[in-house]
Each structure stands twice: as structure tokens, then as C-alpha cells.
Amino acid sequence: MSENIKLMQGNEAIAEGAMIAGCDFFAGYPITPSSEVSEILAARLTKKGHIVIQMEDEIAALGAVLGAALGGAKALTATSGPGMSLKSEHIGYASMCEIPCVIVNVMRGGPSTGNPTLPSQADIMQAKWGTHGDHAIIAITPSSVNESFYETIRALNLAVKYRTPVLILTDEIIGHMREKVIIPEKDTLEIIDVKLPDVPPSEYKPYNYKSGKVTPLAPMGEGYRYHVTGLSHGETGFPSAKMEVIQDAQNWLIDKIYNNIKDIEKYEETMTEDADILIVAYGSVSRSAKAALSMARAAGIKAGLFRPITIWPFPEERIKELSKKIKKILVPEMNMGQIILEVQRAACNNIVKGLNIVSGEPITPDKIYLKIKEMM
Amino acid sequence: MPKTTIKFDYDKYLRKDTLPHIWCPGCGDGIILKSLLRAIDKLQYKKDDVVITSGIGCASRLPGYVDFNTIHTTHGRALTFAIGIKMYKPRLKVITVSGDGDALAIGGNHFIHAARRNIDMTLIVFNNYTYGMTGGQSSPTQPYGSHATTTPYGSVEPPFDTCELAKAAGATWVARSTSYHAVQLEKLIADALTHKGFSVLEVITNCHISYGRRNKMKSPVEMIKYQKEKAVPNRSAVNMTPEELTGRFKTGLIYEKKDSLEFVEETYKQLELIKQ
Ligand SMILES: Cc1ncc(C[n+]2csc(CCOP(=O)(O)OP(=O)(O)O)c2C)c(N)n1
Ligand code: SF4
Ligand SMILES: [Mg+2]
């Protein structure tokens, strides 16, 4: 493989990753610190002959993305905090109607307008619970520019494979910093494309969940005429108020994600084998955590790092396992304590402490190191 | 005017296993549905090429009953889905059906922006002056002084004029009809669909259940009579004074602008130019 290395910004890596993954529709609405994603796609995706459109707000942007996705597009939108709040209703619609799409949230803190130019990780729980009703979501937290590129490709793949919205949660640090990205040859990548169902239209059930498999979403306009509704619906897609249908359909939305958790989950471990203290960190904070880990090891403290890359579904089984031998866990986050709740749940017999900074100041390695020392 | 076939075969377009529909007996929405099917049939559109999106409300339940590519979206947002699929697959004929609340209250922003873009689609607004589905609350088209559950002492808000709003925002084809004028309605729908650009058709429809019975029109018959009596063909309206037009509404083609720049075409022209 000939290596093609490029220096770019995190937001640019998302745009490039999307393009190489076959994204062929983008709709957005400007907001700092995510606007570069739209700007870069407006300049480049269009040159490939694809639509990039600025809608009148974020609700409309996701609506357009879902409309295009029903036509067969691999569609993407990007936003930050307030825009994410506006997108919530359509994230629920995408979940309920099982429409693939990728939503990028370059987190900036809040509530409300918050800190437009500062980093944050305060939308982690919103990512899971932001829309009303029960559903399962896939969310990914890259921690570098290179990872932003590759995880965007994976996000688009997962969206199509599981017919679900997939969220990419970065933050202002990752979005705006410049690092190298190793651009691969396209044919070395696994790309999951939208395809037609393998049954004729007369046999097509758009929500064939009783098969236990995710049925391909037939692109509209290709002979498969079906109905899409946010009302509870059975396998045919038409609304149903039958209690068993409501229950089954609801179970399916959760099961299709959690029954495939091994395929969806992704994390990285550093020096966890002999660790006495575990740091659980994701996104830009995990970079500081890695540096703190070296400081701790140099000082003779056996620290290890667990870094979720797929943050939802949370890799709780692995945390549970690790917590059997590692009794102390530190969870540094740029929020008031969100993922720590999941860690505490998975590691309920352990000492789990948080390190929480929400001033917009990044969490530095020495702060994490000090906290490790304090806990030992 | 083309003859309306009485013996029209609706069955070939209906999803019969989704029936009975949810509409109250006497609701005007079924008349609009039938007119829409006749218009589509007249134009010989292939079912596979037709996409119908809708929002939430009684009117917005229409797509579920008809055998096209149908998307029952979220309240007010049907036009955003329509724009997405139309931009992605321009060969599709995209129609949005929406209630007055859906199109003009919660969806008002999308309404004016779709009009501004002059995108080649058709919006049919089912105006029953109320929120039918949720039980008769106030709507942005509710006439001044009329009653709704949330304006029990009469509305003190001026209503929107759907057609004037559409025209001002940039729609290039604007018309109004009623569920009484079914023959005219069918023709106007066909004209709306063939117009290149954003076409808006407002249909005054009767909801005796949520609107009529609070406003001295308890039965569908009284409401249909209202539509018949208050409708003023646009060509007659030009000779009438504002006083004579008070409490009445214009019907027929209200505005048409041909050969304006259309959004899908402009976009694809540009894509062709910049293509690498
Ligand atoms: C976001 C949201 N807000 C409110 C509702 C509740 N709701 C359902 S239908 C409706 C109004 C429908 O009125 P209209 O659009 O005029 O349609 P009609 O039922 O009269 O045909 C409302 C407010 C909803 N479904 N979603
Ligand atoms: S409530 Fe009104 S608009 Fe809704 S179905 Fe009944 S009559 Fe029609
Ligand atoms: Mg209404």
C-alpha cells in the first residue's frame, strides 16, 4: 500500500473520511466549532457531483438528510451543542424508522449557547438520551485527527449496516487541531454500500425484524413502494396500535444494536494487564490521560488506560472484567461527570473517582497525574 | 375543463389493507385524497416515481393510504424530507401534504424557505382552520373571532393568508380550492404538479368535528355550504371591493410565474460545471 500522508484539521478529516466512505449527500446549518465540515464538503463533495445544501435550521438539515437517505443516499450532517438539541426529534425519527445517517457533534459545552469556541464533552448523555422514547444509539468518540478520518468511515458503514443514526462526538480540540492522516487507497477499505433488498418488491417488508436480521432499506424510487412513519409500526411499516407489535418493534430497536455489540464496540487498552489504577478516558482527554500514564509509570505507579472509541453502547462488559483485578478507577471528563456513571455501574465494587473540568480549559496530563497520586 | 370520470378506479392506487382510514365520517380530507389520485392518474405518473411526504395531523395521514413511496414524517417538517429526496433523486415527483398547523405554524419556516428556493415540488395545504387531530386548538389560519379550544372566547389574532404568504416567499405557482369544488381541485392539483417550480395549493377543507361545531357549523353539510358560499373565483374577485371580500376567500389560480430559476435545475447545472 502506498502511503499518502496529509496534514489536516479534525473537521477536515471527518469531511475526507465521509467522502472516501461514499457519502453522497450533506445538509447542514452553520455552527462553531463544526462549520468547517460543511464548508469543506461544500467545496469538495460537490466536485464529485453530490449535493451539499445549507438548510434553514438543524431540524431541516437532518430532515433533508433523512429524505435523501430514504432515496438511497449515504448522508451526513454536522453540528454542535444547540444544533444537536434541535436535531433531537429527527434523531428519534431516524431511530424509529431505521434510516441510516451520520450526525457529527463537535461538542462545545452548554447548556444553551455555552462556550462556542471552547472544548467540552458535556453532550455524552444527550447522545444517548437526547431524543424522547427508548431507543439504542451508536456513538463514536475519536481522539485524534487520524482517528476522526477512520471512524467517520466506520460510522457510515455502521449506519448502513444497522439502519440507524450514528453519532460522531468530537470536541473543539480534535475538531480544530492539525495532525497527520494516513490516507489509504480506497480499495483497501471496507465500505458498506446501500443495496437493494435481495427479495422482489412483492415480498419486501421494510421492517422484517422477525427474521432477526437487519433488512436493507430499499432506496425509494426503485420499485419498492413502502410506507415510513414515526408511529409504532410492524414489519410492513404501516402504523399499528397492537400491543405486541409495539413491544416487539421496541425490543428490536434495542436488540439490533445490543445483540451485535461485539461488532459495534471498539476500545483501546494501554498497560491494563498489570495495572493497579485504571484511567477511563475518551476523546481529547484520553490524550492527556496517555501522557499522565507515562508520568505515573515513570514514578512507579502501575496505571493503565481504557479508552472507549465506541462510547455508546458503552463497553461495560470489558470494564466489569477489568474491575475484578483493578480496584481503583479514575474517569477524567470535560463535563460534570457523565461517563463515570456508566463506569460506576459496571464497576460497582470499586473506588471510582472523577476529575471534572468544565471551564473550557483542557484537562492537562499533570492534573490527571496529580489525581492518580492522590488516589494511590 | 377535462371531464372528471365518475367511475374512476381508485382501487389501483389505494392500499386497501390499510383501510378503514382514521378520518371522521364527513371529513373533507377524503375528497382531497380522491382528487389527488385522479390528478396523478391523469398525468400518468408511474407509482414508483411518486413520493408523498407529510407531517403530523389528520391531513398528514393521507400518504399511508396510497400506493406510492410515502413518508409520514414529523410535525411541520415534511418539506425538509421532501427537499432531501428531491435533491438526491430529481427524477422523482415529490408532493407534500400538510395541515394548516403543520405547514404554517410549526413548519412555517420550512414553508417560506421551500418557497424561496422555488424547488420543483408541490405542497398541498389542507386548511381546516384548526388542529383537527389534537381536538380543535387554535391554528395560524383560524379566522379572527372564531372559536377553538385554546381560544374559547374567540381568537384575537389575525390569520395567515396561505396563498399571499407563499407568493411573497417566492413560490411560483399558487392556487386555492376547497373540498366542495372537487372538479376544480383535481384540475388545480394536476396543474400544480406540472408546474416547474414550487407550487402551493391551499385547499379549504371541512372539519366539523374540531372546528365546525365550535363555530356554528355542526355538520359537514353546513361546512360544505360555507365553502360554496364564501369562495370567490379569483377572476371575479378583481371587480370586488375589500368590503365585499371580507370573510370570503379567493379560489382558482392566484399567482403563476413561469420560467423562474428553479433550485434543483440550478444546483445540478452548477454541479456539472464544477465537476472534476
Ligand atoms: C413536535 C410536535 N408538537 C405537537 C404535536 C401534536 N400535534 C399533532 S397533530 C397537531 C396539529 C395538527 O393540525 P394541522 O396541522 O392543522 O392538521 P389537521 O389535524 O388539522 O389536519 C399537533 C399540534 C406533535 N405531534 N409533534
Ligand atoms: S378531526 Fe376534523 S380533520 Fe380530523 S378527521 Fe375528523 S373531521 Fe377530519
Ligand atoms: Mg388543520
Residues 6+ apart with CB under 8 A from A65: A25, A26, A27, A73, A75, A76, A77, A101, B84
Q: pLDDT digits over A127-154, tens only?
A: 999 999 999 999 999 999 999 999 999 9
| Mean pLDDT on A198-202 | 96
**B207 CB under 6 A from ligand 2?**
yes
Q: How far apart are CA A26 and CA A28, in angstroms?
A: 7
> Looking at residue B7, what is its pLDDT?
85
> Looking at residue B73, what is its pLDDT?
98
Q: How far apart are CA A140 and CA A152, in angstroms?
A: 9
Q: pLDDT digits over A282-338, tens only?
A: 999 999 999 999 999 999 999 999 999 999 999 999 999 999 999 999 999 999 999
Q: How far apart are CA A82 and CA A58, in angstroms?
A: 9
Nearest Cα of chain B lies from the Cα of A24 at a distance, in angstroms, of 9
Contact: A93, B69; criterion CB under 8 Å: no
> Looking at residue B2, what is its pLDDT?
54
> Looking at residue B3, what is its pLDDT?
55
Q: In this structure, what are the phi and psi dihedrals at residue A78, rounded to the nearest 5 degrees? A: -140, 145
Instruction: Give the ipTM of the model, two decimals please.
Output: 0.97
Q: What is the value of pTM for the model shown?
A: 0.97
Task: Name A353's bridge partners.
Answer: A330
Q: pLDDT digits over A36-83, tens only?
A: 999 999 999 999 999 999 999 999 999 999 999 999 999 999 999 999
Nearest Cα of chain A lies from the Cα of B61 at a distance, in angstroms, of 10
Cell numbers for B10: 381508485
Q: pLDDT digits over A242-260, tens only?
A: 999 999 999 999 999 999 9
Q: How far apart are CA A113 and CA A43, in angstroms?
A: 28
| Mean pLDDT on A194-199 | 95
pLDDT-based confidence at residue B8 (cuts at 50, 70, 90): very high
Residues of A in contact with B48 (CB under 8 A): 221-223, 225
- The CATH code that applies to domain A5-188 is 3.40.50.970
Give the three-class secondary structure for B125: strand
Is 80 exceeded by the pLDDT of residue A100?
Answer: yes
Contact: A225, B63; criterion CB under 8 Å: no
| Mean pLDDT on B197-214 | 98
**B139 CB under 6 A from ligand 1?**
yes
Half-sphere exposure for A140 (CA within 13 Å, toward CB): 26
Tell whether A229 is within 8 A of chain B (Cβ): yes
Write down the residue that cell numbers 371575479 correspond to: B236
Contact: B77, A90; criterion CB under 8 Å: yes
Name residues with Cβ closer than 5 Å to ligand 3, which is an ion: B 99-100, 128, 132
Q: pLDDT digits over A260-288, tens only?
A: 999 999 999 999 999 999 999 999 999 99
Is 80 exceeded by the pLDDT of residue A8?
Answer: yes
Tell whether A196 is within 8 A of chain B (Cβ): no
Going from N- to C-terminal start, the domains of chain A cover 5-188, 268-375
The reply to whether A5-188 and A268-375 are identical in fold is yes
Give the three-class secondary structure for B51: strand
Contact: A230, B72; criterion CB under 8 Å: yes
State the distance from the centre of ligand 1 to the C-alpha of B205, rounded, in angstroms: 16
Q: In this structure, what are the phi and psi dihedrals at residue B237, rounded to the nearest 5 degrees? A: -60, -30
| Mean pLDDT on B80-84 | 99
Nearest Cα of chain B lies from the Cα of A89 at a distance, in angstroms, of 8
Query: Per CATH, is A268-375 categorized as 3.40.50.970?
Result: no
> Looking at residue B257, what is its pLDDT?
98
